[in-house]
A and B are shown apart, each in its own frame.
Chain A
Amino acid sequence: MTDGGILGRHPRVANIGVDVFADEMEGQGVEVTRVDWRPPAEGSETALALLSRAAPQVAAGNDEVIARLQGSRPLLVGVGTAGDVIPGMDHSTLLHAGPPIEWVDMSGPVRGAVIGAAIHEGLAATPQEAERLAASGAFRFSPTHEHCAVGPMAGIVSASMPVWIVENDPRGNRAYCTMNEGLGKVLRYGAFDREVLDRLAWIRKVLAPLMQDAIAGLGEPLDLRSLIAQALQMGDEGHNRNRAGTSLFLRELFPSLLALDAPSADKIAAVRFVSDNDHFFLNLTMPAAKATADAAAGIRESSIVVTMTRNGTEFGVRLAGTGDRWFTGPAGIVEGLFLPGFGPEDANPDLGDSVITETVGLGGLAMASAPAIVNFVGGSAADAVDATTSMYGITWSESAHYRIPALDFRGTPLGIDCREVVHTGVLPVINTGIAHRDPGIGQVGAGVVRPPMRAFVEALSALAEAAVP
């Protein structure tokens, strides 16, 4: 494409700006592509102008990020206890989803989950005591993302919780995630009553050891990248629909699970628990995505987004080229469908680490692969295809592994380029669940949300400062 041959070659033109010029070129028999240009997000002029002077450096950084994302093969290696395996964890640490936040700013469901985790951990005996301790600073709150971990919704992880251990082959970095508790009244939606605590105890005592032994019995780690790729071809998008992935996972595990020397009642309960919970696999897709994204963090001058996450109050973004710095904006309200008896007034602002799936080209970005849930994006399969195709305009590349049947097996949009988000005004499409704004009620719906542009504009400004001398 790059050649000096401009003279003596009939031009083919991309027109950006005044439409009349495109008309004039077409009048002369020139083939013109009209770019649907709009002014970039407010406040981004300086950063974009600065970055225009570092385009080759940013391109090189982005290519490296993509190489690392494509080269990541997340494997499920086993189950461990959070306090033992997650770096920087101790008994009084409570990890939470999203960018950093303190108790005073936490929304209802996050507070509920903190209370539940404190009781589960034995840090407090009653909800009142948990609240008092939380307010007094007795717990150390820290974002999961800063500990190689992720968690859906509130994302609370305490020291004694069992976590999946995912290892990224061949880089060796690990990522962790708790086990999915199912729907309804669950800790991640801020519920903390006896039923929730009993279930957490059962997961720790019964489910986790069975899963650990069953995985060990496989003889080799489970290739999650391959399972996710298959699930995408079976109608999942890896965020709001996980039915295929959960089924595939169980199928892989069955032989070694059945072979375990454990009480049949426990094995039956475990299989039933997983089978009854379509989203069980979400908590495996998420650490797989986290291990993938972490491999690409810290690449200087890259404008690719390597973290997106919500804490129910703020939406946070990190770029490969801006290191550990968080850039935030207010968490959005999810536009979606509500369970009977609930409506938008019940919805908590956007919450959870599960948007790590979109960060690596799944979820909303892979919407075209999930016709079963197109009601979230407008109701028709064409809407789902549009959601995905619109994302190719803001991503640097396409996944070599995650492919969409409806798009002739085109790879999903991969590597959100913060420059193009700000430049085109097109925000990532995020599929997500909706938590009730009060603790303990649980999921009230699901839908689609867009992140706040402010976070991307600020991230880009920081990148421009760092990348352009």
Chain B
Amino acid sequence: MTERVVVLPDTYRDSVALMRISKEVGGRAGVLAAAVVMGTPLNVGLVGDLGFELPDAGPNDLLVAIRAGSAEDADAAVATAEALLAERAPHGVDGGVVAAPRSIAAAARQDSGLSIAFVSVPGAHAAYELASALENGLHVFCFSDGVGLLEEATLKQLAAERGLLLMGPDCGTAIVDGVAFGFANAVRRGPVGVVGASGTGTQELCCLLDMAGVGVSHAIGVGGRDLSSEVGGIMTLRALELLASDPATSVIVVVSKPPDTAVADRVVADAARTSRPAVVCFLGTDRPSSGLPNGVEVTGSLEEAARMAADLAGRPLIPSADPQPETVTAGDIRGLFTGGSLCDEAMALVARRVGRVASNTPLRPDWALEDVRRSEGHTFIDFGDDRLTEGRPHPMIDPTIRNRRFLEEAADAAVGVVVLDVVLGFGAHPDPASELGPLVEGALDGRAGTLSVVVDVCGTPADPQDVTAQAARLGEAGALITRSAAQAARTALRAAGPVDR
């Protein structure tokens, strides 16, 4: 056995690019372990855990660590990694005569036609990029999380003063003028304008509207903390203003996790002022019985929000029938999600029936998982949570960590039902069913008649992965296929049979 560790000083590649290189190098014949990562403290720890002895490396240095059966295989793997690192998407124009700009400011100076900056740098560095984009007159879509709350509030204030949209930080999804930003689906154009403080919430809503034949004008993301008391909904209110004056929008939907109460009241009041019929969806909250202004409906469910919006747009949503499990497979329900809002919606419905559901993003503080690696009875895990994505690609891009956990849960005799999500669209894994399908098939074979697997597929037929093909592949593997998180929860409960509280 041979180990090789190479440090490339002051060499940077993003985590997604490195994940691909690691995977390709790790898949070579004779390679036992491969890590191609930036030398952040977190990554150094991870590579150390693999048993490698590491030389000094800083966060701006790139590490290549290979363990292989022979020296030849190890050297060949290092050479492959170096060759892949040397390949970079061609930059600039005119055969690379113009060097790629090193900053947003430089890019804006080179090209005054830029309109939006798409920021996905590691979170600790994001705030400065946002300020720089706004200073240069650019709207921003900020995928990065980890920006301080005070920075977020200040920057959103600055954006509002400049008449700019700051979508995010921690904004997963937007559709602007038919162009998908981040994780977003190929949704037909239509009359519904969406303001989303929740990424997968927005995705499911858009996909359901697509399924109903309604379509979306724009989906403006604002980031999960926009409706906190500190930020005060600055961008939600700005987005409502924009949609109110948009000729393509005739119905408005706001989707958010439960917000600060005072901010929620303002959002409802501002939605009423848009002079467009509006649906406000605060996920998991109860529908208020009274006190709503005219023209605004409020709900706590994504599925219901989609139905209401479709009604308002004049094309009622006819829901697909829930799949019917052939047998009851009693036992714990385990939800393993890549989409946070999908996890929340399904978890809330399950908890309403079964009581305690343990989670890393619990519905109640005392339902928090002690150790995210160990399930406790009915358990739902959001693998897209910030604390689990630090230093690695989002599980919608690389679901390996979630899929590995699926095998563990499926092998646990206490488990009766596993619920998974597969989120399709731009930005997501190119073919998740090809990886998950065989795992589901194998797991069900191993637990014939005692395990059910529910897979909620979020996508549209126009998505690069095609929702129909993905659903078919997973259905053939034996999974119960649903098209909304609520449907997935109902199906899981049905499969689990009568559950004691």
Contacts and interface: CB of A to CB of B under 8 A. Distances in A.
Interface magnitude class on chain B = 35 or more
Contacts of B151: 49, 52-53
Contacts, number: 206
A194 interface: no
A220 interface: no
Given A11-B176, A53-B154, A55-B158, A2 B242 contact: no
Contacts of B497: none
Contacts of A39: 12, 38, 59-60, 122, 125
B84 interface: no
Contact of B103 (A25, A55, A423): A423
A33 B14 contact: no
A4, A33, A49: which has the most chain B beta carbons within 10 Å?
A33
Nearest to B91: A34
A8 B248 contact: yes
A361 B118 CA distance: 32
B307 interface: no
B102, B150, B154, B397: which has the most chain A beta carbons within 10 Å?
B102
B100 A35 contact: yes
Given A6-B242, A21-B427, A39-B122, A426 B102 contact: yes
Interface residues of A, number: 56
Contacts of A420: 103, 105
Contact of A6 (B38, B103, B116, B217): B116
A62 B366 CA distance: 51
Interface string B90-105: 0100000001111111
B67 interface: no
B317 interface: no
Nearest to A385: B97
A33 B111 contact: yes
Contact of A35 (B16, B101, B130, B246): B101
B115 interface: yes
A12 B116 contact: yes
B163 interface: yes
Contacts of A55: 131-132, 134-135, 158
Contacts of B397: 20
Nearest to B136: A1
Contacts of B60: 38-39, 42, 425
A379 interface: no
Interface in A157-183: none
A188 B217 CA distance: 70
B16 A18 contact: yes
Given A10-B179, A51-B131, A25 B118 contact: yes
A24 interface: yes
A166 B135 CA distance: 37
Contacts of A53: 127, 131, 150-151, 154-155
A408 interface: no
Interface string B49-75: 000000000111000000000000000
Interface of B: 10, 12, 14-17, 38, 58-60, 89, 91, 99-122, 124-125, 127-139, 143-144, 148, 150-151, 154-155, 158, 162-165, 176-177, 179-182, 217-218, 242-243, 246-248, 397, 426-427, 464
Interface of A: 1-4, 6-25, 27-28, 30, 33-40, 42, 45, 48-49, 51-53, 55-56, 59, 386, 389-390, 392-393, 419-420, 423-426
16 contacts: A6-B165, A8-B247, A9-B115, A10-B179, A13-B115, A14-B107, A18-B14, A18-B17, A28-B180, A33-B114, A37-B102, A39-B12, A42-B59, A48-B125, A51-B128, A419-B128
**Nearest 8 A/B pairs, CB to CB:** A17-B120, A52-B131, A1-B137, A52-B127, A36-B100, A55-B131, A48-B128, A38-B12
